């Protein structure tokens, strides 16, 4: 399946949320990266058929999003940013309810629930109330409900926001396991590490406009020639911090080490460095 988004536009009153977004998304994990308020969630909600675009088209396997919303939903799994669920029911009960709403046949529902619980490593917690779950466990339950019906398209909005580092790593590994032949997973996030860890394709969205990159490495190269590694004392570091964009820094006893974004060499002690994905992203969005 190839998901084709053509010149999609969406506005709310006088504010344009998306402007002529055109993307070709192939099977695998596609990352939609951008700052908060850039338009990511609006596009995710359009893909999930919650919103309709003002203009443009979305198609896959001959299905048109604006004309065949019911067919889209039949092949869709969706995890919104705020996955609200009742806290006094069990994980198995949540999945049974959502599976019924999705139209999963009664004879297959229990088997599918057991399978998705196993896939997200929640089998041991299936009969515990959701209110006892950690944030990461609730996000994994969200993925489990999205997997019901074996969807060809999975849309996930800001999946690791608010998770601690351990849960974030666990969730990224889970996302990698979602990849199937002909399955498209669209991941929206403002966390560069999520894209770097799991995505094969990506686009950066800024102020409603999206730019497609062939790979994370292509985005990193946007900062080529503008990243510098510097090592020196704390006094010089303070002067550099006033004049330049410090991406990261670490104290090493009496010296400081920093990575700096600059069009020109910021100091005689600075040496060119290979850009990271985060540095390419920072240059692209103009932070």
pLDDT tens-digit map of 61-92: 999 999 999 999 999 999 998 887 778 999 99
| Domain ranges, ordered by start, for the chain | 3-221, 223-285
3-state class (DSSP) for residue 274: coil
Q: What is the DSSP letter of 222?
A: G
Residues facing 233 on adjacent strands: 255
Residue ranges of E strands in 147-254: 153-157, 184-189, 201-206, 209-213, 227-233, 245-252
Predicted confidence at residue 43, as pLDDT, reads: 96
Q: What is the DSSP letter of 89?
A: S
Tell me what the mean pLDDT of segment 203-230 comes to: 94
Q: What is the DSSP letter of 125?
A: G
* CATH topology for the 3-221 domain: Rossmann fold (3.40.50)
Predicted confidence at residue 163, as pLDDT, reads: 82
Tell me what the mean pLDDT of segment 25-51 comes to: 94
> DSSP labels for 263-281?
SS---TT-EE-PPPHHHHH
List pLDDT tens digits, range 127-142.
Answer: 999 999 988 888 899 9
CA distance linking residue 277 with residue 194, whole number of Å: 11
Q: How confident is the model at residue 36 (pLDDT cuts 50, 70, 90)?
A: confident
Q: How confident is the model at residue 287 (pLDDT cuts 50, 70, 90)?
A: low
Tell me what the mean pLDDT of segment 93-108 comes to: 92
Tell me what the mean pLDDT of segment 142-171 comes to: 89
Q: How far is CA 204 from the centre of its chain?
A: 11
Q: What is the DSSP letter of 283?
A: H
């Amino acid at each position: 399946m190839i998901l084709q988004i053509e010149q999609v536009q969406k506005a709310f009153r006088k504010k344009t949320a998306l402007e002529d977004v055109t993307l070709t998304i192939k099977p695998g994990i596609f990352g939609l990266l951008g700052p908060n308020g850039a338009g990511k969630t609006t596009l995710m909600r359009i893909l999930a058929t919650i919103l309709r675009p003002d203009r443009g088209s979305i198609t896959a396997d001959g299905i048109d999003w604006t004309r065949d919303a019911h067919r889209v939903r039949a092949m869709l799994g969706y995890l919104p940013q705020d996955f609200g669920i009742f806290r006094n029911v069990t994980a198995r009960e949540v999945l049974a309810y959502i599976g019924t709403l999705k139209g999963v046949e009664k004879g297959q529902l229990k088997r599918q629930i057991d399978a998705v619980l196993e896939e997200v490593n929640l089998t041991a917690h299936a009969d515990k109330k959701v209110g006892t779950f950690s944030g990461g466990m609730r996000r994994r339950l969200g993925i489990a409900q999205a997997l019901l019906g074996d969807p060809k398209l999975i849309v996930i909005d800001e999946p690791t926001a608010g998770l601690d580092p351990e849960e974030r790593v666990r969730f990224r590994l889970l996302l990698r396991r979602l990849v199937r032949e002909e399955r498209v997973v669209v991941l929206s996030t403002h966390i560069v590490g999520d894209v770097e860890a799991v995505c094969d394709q990506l686009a950066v969205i800024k102020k409603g406009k999206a730019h497609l990159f062939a790979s994370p490495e292509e985005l990193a190269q946007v900062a080529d020639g503008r990243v510098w590694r510097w090592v020196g004392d704390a006094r010089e570091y303070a002067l550099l911090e006033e004049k330049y964009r410090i991406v990261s820094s670490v104290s090493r006893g009496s010296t400081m080490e920093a990575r700096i974004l600059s069009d020109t060499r910021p100091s005689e002690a600075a040496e060119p460095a290979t850009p990271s994905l985060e540095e390419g992203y920072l240059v692209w969005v103009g932070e």
